[in-house]
Structure 1
Amino acid sequence: MSKLLNINVSILVVLLFFLSCNIENIELENDNWSPELVAPLINSTITIGNLIPEQENTIYDDDNFIRLAFRDDSLFKLEAQSFVSIQDEISFEEQFLLSDLDISDFNYSYNFLLGDLFIEYSNEPLVSALIDVLFENSIVPSPFYADIQGSLFNNIDESDFAGVDLSFVINEFQSIYFENGFLNFEIENNLPLNIDALEVAIINSITSEIIATVSFTDLFSNSSNDVSIDLSNKIVSNEIELDILNLEFSPQLLSAGELPFNPESGLEMNFSITDINVYSITMPFNNQVFDVGEQFVELDLDDDASHQIHNIELSNGQINYSINSSINTDLKLKFSIPSATQNGQIFTTEPLQLSTNSVGSIDISNLELDLTTNPNQEYNFIPISAEIIINSEFPIELNPTDFVEFSFSFSNLEVDYIDGYFDTYNFDLGSGVVNIDLSLLEDFDSGLKLEDPSLTINISNSLGIGANVNGQLYAYAEDGAMAFFEIDTMIDRANIQGESILMQWIYGKDVIGDIIELPPKTLEYQAEASIINDGNINFLTKESALFLGFELDFPLSVNAANISLRDTIKIDEIKYDDISKIKRIILHYNFINGFPLGTEFDLVLRDSLNIDGENLDTIQFIGINSEDNIFEPAEVNQEGYVVSPTLNSGFVPLTNKEISSFLNTNQIIIDVTLSSSNYIQENQFVKIFSDQACVLKLGVETQIDLN
């Protein structure tokens, strides 16, 4: 016959719990509990800081007041390229044919001097006879100063020059086939006697073809005369000879006496070939220029807006060039942008040495461009000037099929600064989803009311552009409930480079109360903007941007909210072989509530080794302290601060199932629910601080059968 003993003595309790359990913090101080009847199990202080740790978007103020905050400074971001986008490549091409070649004039002077004639042709019979008659000892004076009887010239005519070489070579070219051009022939009479008539044939020495025949009359002493000869469709070589066809001096009387001659006495002939256009030409080219002149290249923009760009400053960029030529010699390129400066100097390249087919690039970093110099349209045009220079030591032939093609393109442009009048137009700022990551809000029931929540819209604008922004902000709760907020605001522009305009709008619970009560899990946004044209020059820089951000600030001064929070206490597994010996377990507790909220707690029993992760049981403290199982909150003043904690005591007998779970647990979770709904006046808010605390003291009374 078994004997049932009611054991309520401390020795048996200690044997049960201290031999089979390793429990820390077992002190239990309460005058109403006898250590001889109840063994302490839990003595735990739980602070709000344990339940709501400071992390991520949960922050503590200096006085430990808790607030939830989220900030995104660039919910919408507008950069320079959002308004004006310049194409990475701006190009133009040019081709020069031979007809485009601006060939310089050719000039040549030929002197037919009397003194040289006596010296160079002294062996000719006529000249030799004259030397014997005119000069003492038949010696031609040098320098040539002589007085000669004028009547001697009465017998001299063109036949006396038949053997005289009147040829010369023009070194500037070798041969020209003229499309058109003119040969200007000037003759100056430096003899001390008049010429009544002079006729000269100008002949190509190589082909013996007559280029032209020219005639002069009444060519007085120390005077000149000229004639212009059309060279159209003529071929002219650089080897020229003159043939005197007719020469008549004015008759000289014997009584006229002697005439004075000097080293300059003779005929000076000046030839110039002008207004040259050719079918072909063979010549050495000495820095001959293909000049594109000044052309204007339009700035292409990537968008459809009609911006009027005035100035651009580049931090980086290059001009790529390609030269293709049929001319068999090296070329040089000289490129300039007349309205641009680089490092304070007008942008002009040094001549670049090229071959007949060349590609390369020109650095235009730090280039400052003025796009207002086109007289027909004072914006969006870049002036371009380029020269292709031909420089050859030996003659080369050019013909109508010869060409020089070149192309230029701007690429890899990085704009530091741009200004002008920007077109008024609307553009999409985009949309997106922001996870505000206020995970603590998941512990609040819907209907959360905060005393002083705020939504702050922050604007930072360093663009020289004003804009109107219209957007929508949708807040969604975990269950899909939605609240709506609209942004419609005018944003001021920066007035000078480097200035940043700061603007701020703060909205309180009268505007965002619906968002708070969800509470929000995600924010979805969308917006568009339109440029405000105020009539002033707009500007953008590489660094400038418009930022529209927001701040959510939820200070935990709450009303009408249920907060479910948890703390965990780990104990060793309680081992007792014969659970049938245990007839009763009663949990005795003291709960000192320093929370300013009504508090409900349950004990969740877990076996951490259970692979399913399921709870063993939940012990609910029901009907012990109050009808709705909520312990009274600590006393607070009108400002929401705790002035006095409350003491709550009681006991909970365990069912057989709960006893089994209790003996197999190695982890107890204190599941705390805080509520302000039943214990404060309407519209009264309670402030939540991290150092607010409650104390739970839990002991065990056990009855066992020792038989």
Structure 2
Amino acid sequence: MKKPLIRVLLATYVLLYLSSCTEDYLKFDEIKTDDWRPELALPLVNSNLSIEDIVLKEDQNNIVQKDPTTGVLQVVYDGRVFTTQGADIIDLPIQSFEQSYSSPKPLPPTGGDTTLSENFIFTFNNNGTELEIDSMLMKAGDLVLTIENTFEHDVTVVAKYPSIVDSRGNSLEVTYDLNQAAGGVVSRSEVTDLKGYTIDMTNGGTTLNQIPVNFEITFNLISGNSSTSNDGLRFVLRMRNLEFKRFNGYVGNIDLNLDSNAINIGLFKNFNNGTFFLSNPFMEVTVSNSFGMPSLLNFQNLLAYNPDNTPSTLNIVIPANSNPLALNFPVKDGNRKTSFEMDKNNSNIPAVVNHFVREIAYKATANLNPNGKTANRNFVTDTSKIGLDVFLKLPFEGAASAFTLNDTIDLGFDNTDDLESGILRINTTNGFPISTTFQVIFTDENYNAIDSLFTDDANTLGNDLFVIPSSNTDNNGKTVSNSVSNIDVPVNTQRLQNIANGKYAIIRAELNAGDPNSNPRQTIQFLDSYRLSIFIGLKASILIK
């Protein structure tokens, strides 16, 4: 207790005393200087805790939910990983096509105009992969057409791409004007931004990976200039920086890795010995898929880990019909979900939880088009992906026997020189259907015990335990009324000094709820309405000289 507080209390007492006196009664020569021992009462702890308060205090990696039907609380841990996106699994390499044209007959030297046409089909190069393109809505890309003229006449070329259309349905057309060659080569290039265009490569539904181009060629004949067999036009077409927004076709059989992930489970980090049983834990796996094609998800591993247990690692049993898991897939835009659960009926999840799991680690792969090409064509968007969500859900329903919980906190109780002795009064109101015995051991910086909250005598540490009785329950293990308990713990000057010298307080609690060893097991439930109220106050004598 800090001296300024004592001075304030003393000053307040003196002022109140003086204000009740008159001048006639102030006989200073009669004031005695004997030691004075007023009593001071202070509240130390006043808490009203729910199970959510306790869980969230110990672990920030969870979500606490309430079952809307039963009111039972459950803590949920989740992890999420994704595959790479659609834009990264389809390689659209730079395309380069070349084609030459010469007039089918000599051009007359008499002047005037003449128009001819030529049609070409360029095949999209897939670099030897299984990639088949029906159509693509372009997110980005450049179409670069360069035309070289060696005719001794001016030429106008209209390049028409009937299978490349904009959002209004207009096909792409680009016009090039080239002057006469005059014995050399005249060239002209145009760059067209393909963003927003749709490219159909089926040539009217008859083929794949093909882009038709129609050239309308008009010769503006120059009088006196003739043509030779060496005169012609050269077309160089390039497509570069290609990115799609939507792809239709067939992408091939592709394996995708999902990132490895680990879910930290903080609920059990301070649990030690005893028997602990949760009656209905389960794990939910949900896979979201926006790839428009048949796909499988395969868990390479799914492990539970606790470094303080033997064995430290447990394999989580996945139902045979869920690994590999055939995924639902969309037939148009959007995504479809596929889910399955692992519980006490089809897996070893209860054993995993009762292993006091600290971490769940998993790694999975996805396989697109596992059966190869089928009658159903694929569609992919640039953001298509497969997402894997793993949820460990722990309803607070079960049993515990001699189940030990340890925790260590720093102490900051000092300035006890003026406190002569006192009483720690502990009042509890328990709405939980679980009884708890606990003890607090005070230690030095090396964790050597120097005192405890409850003692058999001055020389015995930590053998007595304070019991908080369970609430009163019905046959279903639900609380019908709270339990109330009180205890006073005497604390003398030496014990106050021991506590002040302590650096740490080790809290040891033993939990008992239901009967995990009965057959069938007797279990209890934790509802969101349950509360544990604890009040601890110090009533101490102050020595003032």
1:562 touches 1:676 (CA, 8 Å); kept in 2?
no
Look up the SS of the partner of 2:291 in the other structure. coil
1:623 touches 1:629 (CA, 8 Å); kept in 2?
no
Q: 2:256 aligns with which of 413, 428, 433?
A: 428
Q: 1:101 aligns with which of 103, 109, 113?
A: 103
Which residue does the alignment assign to 1:372? Answer: 202
2:158 touches 2:217 (CA, 8 Å); kept in 1?
yes
2:451 touches 2:499 (CA, 8 Å); kept in 1?
no
Q: Structure 1 residues 546, 592: CA separation in 2 closer, same or farther (over 3 Å shift)?
A: closer
Q: 2:315 aligns with which of 469, 477, 483?
A: 483
Matched, 1:360 2:218: no
Q: Structure 1 residues 317, 374: CA separation in 2 closer, same or farther (over 3 Å shift)?
A: same
Q: Structure 1 residues 331, 629: CA separation in 2 closer, same or farther (over 3 Å shift)?
A: farther
Look up the SS of the partner of 1:659 in the other structure. helix
2:431 touches 2:532 (CA, 8 Å); kept in 1?
yes
Stretches of structure 1 that go unaligned for 5 or more consecutive residues are 1-13, 23-34, 107-171, 174-283
The Cα of 1:343 is off from its aligned counterpart by 4.2
The Cα of 1:693 is off from its aligned counterpart by 0.8
Using the alignment, how far apart are the partners of 1:587 and 1:470 within structure 2? Answer: 59
Matched, 1:334 2:339: no
Matched, 1:52 2:55: yes
1:17 touches 1:574 (CA, 8 Å); kept in 2?
no
Using the alignment, how far apart are the partners of 1:616 and 1:328 within structure 2? Answer: 106
Matches within 5 A, 1:511-526: 511=347, 512-517=349-354, 518-526=356-364
Matched, 1:685 2:523: yes
Look up the SS of the partner of 1:53 in the other structure. helix
Using the alignment, how far apart are the partners of 1:58 and 1:514 within structure 2? Answer: 22
Q: Deviations over 1:544-591 (max 9, x none)?
A: 5443323222222243354446899977x43427x9xx5x66645445
Using the alignment, how far apart are the partners of 2:149 and 2:276 within structure 1? Answer: 80
Normalised to the residue count of structure 2, the TM-score between the two structures is 0.71
Matches within 5 A, 1:248-327: 286=113, 292-300=118-126, 304=129, 306-326=130-150
- The answer to which structure, 1 or 2, has the higher relative contact order (CA under 8 A, 6+ apart) is 2
Using the alignment, how far apart are the partners of 1:393 and 1:314 within structure 2? Answer: 42
The Cα of 1:475 is off from its aligned counterpart by 2.9
2:265 touches 2:357 (CA, 8 Å); kept in 1?
no
2:296 touches 2:370 (CA, 8 Å); kept in 1?
yes
Q: 1:509 aligns with which of 338, 344, 350?
A: 344
Using the alignment, how far apart are the partners of 2:531 and 2:469 within structure 1? Answer: 15
Normalised to the residue count of structure 1, the TM-score between the two structures is 0.56
1:586 touches 1:702 (CA, 8 Å); kept in 2?
no
The Cα of 1:409 is off from its aligned counterpart by 1.5
Using the alignment, how far apart are the partners of 2:523 and 2:65 within structure 1? Answer: 18
Using the alignment, how far apart are the partners of 1:491 and 1:619 within structure 2? Answer: 59
Q: Structure 1 residues 371, 40: CA separation in 2 closer, same or farther (over 3 Å shift)?
A: closer
Which residue does the alignment assign to 1:351? Answer: 175
Letter in 2 for 1:371: M
- RMSD over aligned CA atoms reads 4.7
Q: Structure 1 residues 629, 702: CA separation in 2 closer, same or farther (over 3 Å shift)?
A: same
Q: Deviations over 1:72-98 (max 9, x none)?
A: 4x5344644476x141422211244xx
Look up the SS of the partner of 1:379 in the other structure. coil
Using the alignment, how far apart are the partners of 1:64 and 1:47 within structure 2? Answer: 17
Q: Deviations over 1:121-160 (max 9, x none)?
A: xxxxxxxxxxxxxxxxxxxxxxxxxxxxxxxxxxxxxxxx
Q: Deviations over 1:649-703 (max 9, x none)?
A: 25355694x43243568x9979463523697764333334565113243445669
Look up the SS of the partner of 1:19 in the other structure. helix
Which residue does the alignment assign to 2:15? Answer: none
Look up the SS of the partner of 1:75 in the other structure. strand
Q: Deviations over 1:504-538 (max 9, x none)?
A: 21222342223323323242312242525484322
Letter in 2 for 1:362: T
Which residue does the alignment assign to 1:254? Answer: none
2:428 touches 2:532 (CA, 8 Å); kept in 1?
no
The Cα of 1:456 is off from its aligned counterpart by 1.5
Q: 1:406 aligns with which of 235, 246, 268?
A: 235
Using the alignment, how far apart are the partners of 1:330 and 1:475 within structure 2? Answer: 77
The Cα of 1:300 is off from its aligned counterpart by 1.3
Q: Structure 1 residues 622, 405: CA separation in 2 closer, same or farther (over 3 Å shift)?
A: farther
Look up the SS of the partner of 1:465 in the other structure. coil
1:450 touches 1:555 (CA, 8 Å); kept in 2?
yes
Letter in 2 for 1:549: D
Matched, 1:555 2:395: yes
Q: Structure 1 residues 50, 18: CA separation in 2 closer, same or farther (over 3 Å shift)?
A: farther
Letter in 2 for 1:443: N
Stretches of structure 2 that go unaligned for 5 or more consecutive residues are 10-36, 180-185
Look up the SS of the partner of 1:378 in the other structure. coil
